[in-house]
Chains A and B, each alone.
Chain A
Amino acid sequence: MNPFRKKTKQLTREQLRRRMLILLGLAGILCVFALVAPYLTPNDPNLPNAAYMNAAPCKEFPLGADRYGRCVLSRVMIGARTSIFSAVALVFLTFVAGSLLGMLSGWYGGVLDAVIMRVADIFLAFPQMVLAIAVAGVLGGSLLNAMIALGIAGWTIYARLARVHTMALKNEPFILAARMNGSSGLSILLRHILPNMIGPLLVNAVTQIGTTMIGIAGLSFLGLGVVPPNAEWGSMINEARAYVQLAPWSVFVPAVAVIITVMVFNYLGDAVRDYSDVSEAK
Chain B
Amino acid sequence: MAEKRTIKQVRAVLSKAPSRELLLQLNDLRVSYGSFEALHGYSLDLAPGEIHVIAGESGSGKSTILKAILGLTSYSAEVTGGSIRFAGNDALAMSGRERRALLGDEIGLIAQNPAASFNPLRTFRAQFKETLESHGRKLDEHEVFHVFRTLGLPTDSRVLDSCPYEVSGGMCQRVAIALLMLLRPRLLLCDEVTSALDVTTQKQVADELLRLRDETGMGILLVTHNLGLASYLADSVSILLNGDCVDKGPDVLTSPSHDYTKKLLHDVPDFEEVLRDRSVFPEDTARALALTDVHKTYRVRGNEVQALKGVDLTLYKGEILGVVGESGSGKSTILRQACGMETPEYGDVELDGRFQYIFQDAYASFDPRMTIRQSLYESIRNAAQKRSEKPLRGKKIDAYDQKILPILESVRLSDDLLDRYPGRLSGGQCQRMAIARALIADPEVLLCDEITSALDVTAQREVVELLVELQKDRDLSVVFVSHDLALVHSFCDRILVLKSGEVITCGDAKKVIRHTEEPYTKQLLDSVLTVR
Interface residues in chain A, defined as those with a beta carbon under 8 Å from any beta carbon in chain B = 1-7, 172-174, 176-183, 191-192, 195-196
Contacts and interface: CB of A to CB of B under 8 A. Distances in A.
Contact of B74 (A7, A173, A183, A195): A7
A205 B253 CA distance: 58
A4 B72 CA distance: 6
11 contacts: A3-B74, A173-B360, A173-B361, A173-B365, A177-B359, A180-B357, A181-B379, A181-B382, A191-B367, A192-B367, A196-B367
Contacts, number: 68
Given A4-B99, A173-B359, A177-B359, A182 B369 contact: no
A178 B100 contact: no
Contacts of A177: 357, 359, 365-366, 434, 437
A172 B364 contact: yes
Given A177-B359, A180-B356, A196 B368 contact: yes
A5 B383 CA distance: 55
A178 B383 CA distance: 12
A2 B97 CA distance: 9
B367 A174 contact: yes
A278 to B, nearest CB: 14
A1 B100 CA distance: 12
Interface residues of B, number: 32
A11 B379 CA distance: 41
B73 A4 contact: yes
- 4 closest A-B pairs by beta carbon, nearest first, are A4-B96, A182-B382, A173-B365, A173-B364
B117 interface: no
A5 B364 contact: no
A191 B378 contact: yes
Nearest to B385: A182
B368 to A, nearest CB: 7
Contacts of B12: none
A244 B97 CA distance: 61
B386 A174 contact: no
Given A173-B365, A177-B437, A192-B370, 20 more contacts: A1-B74, A3-B72, A3-B100, A7-B74, A174-B365, A174-B366, A174-B367, A174-B368, A176-B341, A176-B365, A177-B365, A177-B434, A178-B378, A180-B341, A181-B382, A181-B437, A182-B385, A183-B382, A196-B367, A196-B368
B441 A181 contact: yes
A192 B364 CA distance: 12
B301 to A, nearest CB: 17
Interface in B434-466: 434, 437, 441
A3 B364 CA distance: 31
A196 B437 CA distance: 21
Contacts of A5: 96
B444 to A, nearest CB: 14
B408 interface: no
A172 B422 CA distance: 15
B450 to A, nearest CB: 12
B256 interface: no
Nearest to B75: A3
B339 interface: yes
Interface in B92-108: 96-97, 99-100
B310 interface: no
B228 interface: no
Contacts of A3: 70-74, 100
Contacts of B382: 181-183
Nearest to B443: A180
